[in-house]
């Protein structure tokens, strides 16, 4: 597992270590496997593949990414190195070693102008540098490693690292009122649920290719923020709605980021739970960490 120090990576490490169906697993940080270094990637995959052959083969899950959406606007080359070239190095090394690759991608590969959930084969059209680099990464993975899975997700939060839930918890302590955009729609997704979905996908033997995984249902950042206030025991009314135009950012955000789970369901995989149920479960599991 590449990127073990992040939100999804840390949850994956925990699940993999506890799953008796998986004989062995290893989580690698950037220091142990910098995916922008092709020689290092090739050496790591080759070394991991040798013992894995005895146990049925190697599966590599890549959760490493440049996630600074606004920063990518001024350093697209840096984002490309991590989000596109890095996955390409992994895909080439996995193909050479006969390994399976699972690569995480994002809703930002779409332009956000849809009015119904995006299917895996819908036309892409990223409107930001981050989205362009992530699209290039998933295209490279699918072209270079025929046995690869690409899993698009969205609005991820978890106990590790920075995310919207932690930001709202911190701001709720610091301010009497908050304004949050109400014209961007997506599906908040708990990293632990996403990690469990990835494990199920790998073990299922489903056909390789593109999949979407988010919590079920959708909402806006405003209503998501109000739900977070409820979990914090605060008055949701302290959050007021605003518009994207009133809160400009360096990188444009997709107005509509809802991803269809049709292919996930068609593969016979478990349906993700509703986003509101997942949020309650996340706070129950991490009552301290999610309070920022």
DSSP string, 196-254: HHHHHHHHHTPPSEEEE---BS-EEHHHHHHHHHHHHTS-GGGEEEE-STTS--SS---
- Separation CA 186–CA 277 (nearest Å): 15
Would you call 83 exposed, middle or buried from its count of C-beta atoms within 10 A (0-12, 13-18, 19+)? buried
Strands 185-186 and 219-220: antiparallel
Query: What's the burial of 112, exposed, middle or buried (CB within 10 Å: 0-12/13-18/19+)?
Result: buried
End-to-end Cα, the chain, rounded Å: 26
Separation between Cα atoms, residue 243 and residue 147, nearest integer Å: 42
For residue 157, indicate whether it is catalytic: no
- How far apart are alpha carbons 141 and 35 in whole angstroms? 13
Secondary structure of residue 151 in the 3-state scheme: strand
Dihedral of the CA atoms 292, 182, 130, 36 (nearest 10)? 20
Catalytic one among 80, 108, 118, 130? 130
Q: Residue 93's CB: how many other CB atoms inside 10 A?
A: 26
Q: Name the residues annotated as catalytic.
A: 130
């Amino acid at each position: 597992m590449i990127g073990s120090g992040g939100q999804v990576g840390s949850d994956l490490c925990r699940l993999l270590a506890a799953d008796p169906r998986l004989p062995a697993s290893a989580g690698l940080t950037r220091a142990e496997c910098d995916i922008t270094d092709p020689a290092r990637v090739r050496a790591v995959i080759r070394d991991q593949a040798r013992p894995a052959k005895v146990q049925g083969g190697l599966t590599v899950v890549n959760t490493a990414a440049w996630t600074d959406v606004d920063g990518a606007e001024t350093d697209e080359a840096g984002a490309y190195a991590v989000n596109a070239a890095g996955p390409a190095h992994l895909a080439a090394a996995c193909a050479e070693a006969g390994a399976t690759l699972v690569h995480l991608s994002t809703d930002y590969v779409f332009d956000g102008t849809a009015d119904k959930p995006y299917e895996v084969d819908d036309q892409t059209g990223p409107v930001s540098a981050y989205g362009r680099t992530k699209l290039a990464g998933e295209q490279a993975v699918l072209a270079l490693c025929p046995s690869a899975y690409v899993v698009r997700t969205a609005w991820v939060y978890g106990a590790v690292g920075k995310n919207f839930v932690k930001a709202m918890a911190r701001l709720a302590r610091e301010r009497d009122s908050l304004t949050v955009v109400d014209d961007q729609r997506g599906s908040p997704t708990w990293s632990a649920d996403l990690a469990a979905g990835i494990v199920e996908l790998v073990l299922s033997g489903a056909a390789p290719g593109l999949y979407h995984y988010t919590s079920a249902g959708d909402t806006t950042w405003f209503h998501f923020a109000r739900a977070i206030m409820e979990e914090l025991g605060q008055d949701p009314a302290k959050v007021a709605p605003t518009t994207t135009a009133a809160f400009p950012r360096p990188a444009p955000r997709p107005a509509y980021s809802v991803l269809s789970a049709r292919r996930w369901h068609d593969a016979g995989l478990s349906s993700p739970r509703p986003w509101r149920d997942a949020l309650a479960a996340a706070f129950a599991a991490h009552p301290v960490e999610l309070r920022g």
